[in-house]
Amino acid sequence: MSCLRLYGGLITAHDAIAKSNRAEVRRRSAAAVVKRPVAMGTNRRRGHQTARYAVAAKLSLRICAEAPPRNPQRWVAVTRCEQLVCAAGSMRMTEKGSRATPRVLAVIGTRPEAVKLAPVVHAFWQRPEVELRVLATAQHRAMLDQTLAFFGIRPDRDLNAMRPDQSLAELTAQLLLLLDPALKEEAPALVLAQGDTTTVMVVAMCCSYRDIPFAHVEAGLRSGDLRRPFPEEQNRMFAARVAALNFAPTKCAADNLLREGVRPESVQITGNTVIDALQWTLARVAVSKFQVQQGQRLVLVTAHRRENFGAPFDQLCIALRRLADRADVRILYPLHPNPNVRQAAKLALGDHAHIKLVEPLDYPDMVAAMQACDLILTDSGGVQEEAPSLGKPVLLLRDVTERPEGVLAGAVRLVGTDPERIVREAVRLLDDQASYAAMAVVRNPYGDGHAALRIVDRCCAFLRARH
């Protein structure tokens, strides 16, 4: 980014913040802003003007942290301002073609990856000694774009890999062909990815081929069954073996890595970044759009796991219909884009008056729905981690889980897809206040909201040692 572009970006982002209705922002930041020059002249002069304007922008960010804007749209300007301020701090006037700071490349493919890496991206923006770039593979397209926009993240590079109805083999082959030349051109000092998707497995493989250090966020989750979940279990096992840094969310995850022979010096327990993202989001959502009438109970359902396709999903739909037959139950089911889920759900559930099938919710709406509901039925990994922070019991529609901490803490109960068991456990929680309270008051075992800072600190220390 040139000084001229950076200067203009700072002006735009700072002014967007200052236009908020907070008089304190206008009064205090205006006193710090220097008069804008009409012409910029030399690179040296541009650099000086950029640095002076960055001081004013930093002050605006500090004021917004003390008194956050009421309008959620203002946070896009705030996060863009954070990114630009950090770029201003890290800028060096070097000869053409040279790089003054090590580059970290964050690779994001799906919505869950975007949610869980957003706090890490924000934390990197506060570290001037590192140049962060974001690469989107777009393994998911619309759902990824919505989430990145909410967190104020604009990818520096987009591979646009999503194709309708592509197989795992086709997706893997396409990502290999797209990611390898991208890594060659970006030439990062460190590559960062999160989770267990095909994007994560392929970027780990490409980094291994090019001898680029790879950092795996949310490393060490294991179900012990390569087919459940598939292909996620094998993806995360491969990523851990080639990673230079493995950021385990819990002690259990770290122990899994050590048992597999992963180098102990590569493993650090950080907590899960989804708790960082959840805490950031809670201050910016409204639950009113999902509230039901007094006396009604809202059950939130998410189900999309590959191992549940076919007969297990049909069994789940039987359970949902039986549960929705209760006069006091309303079911909200955001449908995953996968046609194996959408078509079966619409056919089995679309005609029930108490079941509302909706398009996928963006992340803030999903958080609002979790806040508004009484009970969650899910096969999602992220929802298992978030729900305890919201005091919502979870019935997990799987037979095994790579996140045993929630089960052991009492916040999550495994029920599989057997209709009898699902209905029995759901009715018990809806009708028995003591049983409900026992699951709702559990302390979240997945993190404290500071995982991203620990990850960035370790990455920066790793880069300093290598450079």
Catalytically active residues, by annotation = 196, 218, 232, 304, 306, 336
45: DSSP letter: H
- Both tokens assigned to 257: 């890595």
- Both tokens assigned to 272: 């899960």
Q: What angle do CA 61, 143, 200 make, to 5 degrees?
A: 90
Q: Are 321 and 351 in contact (CB under 8 A)?
A: no
Cα separation of 241 and 75, whole Å? 38
Q: What is the DSSP string of 153-176?
A: ---SEE-----TT--HHHHHHHHH
Cα separation of 97 and 416, whole Å? 56
Q: Within 325-450, where are the H helices?
A: 339-349, 363-372, 381-390, 404-409, 419-431, 433-440
Q: Are 81 and 57 in contact (CB under 8 A)?
A: yes
141: DSSP letter: S
Cα separation of 126 and 234, whole Å? 34
Burial of 317 (0-12, 13-18, 19+ CB in 10 A): buried
- Both tokens assigned to 53: 């304007």
| Number of continuous H segments (helices) and E segments (strands) in the chain | 19, 13
Distances (CA, A) of 421 to 72, 298, 395, 448: 41, 19, 10, 33
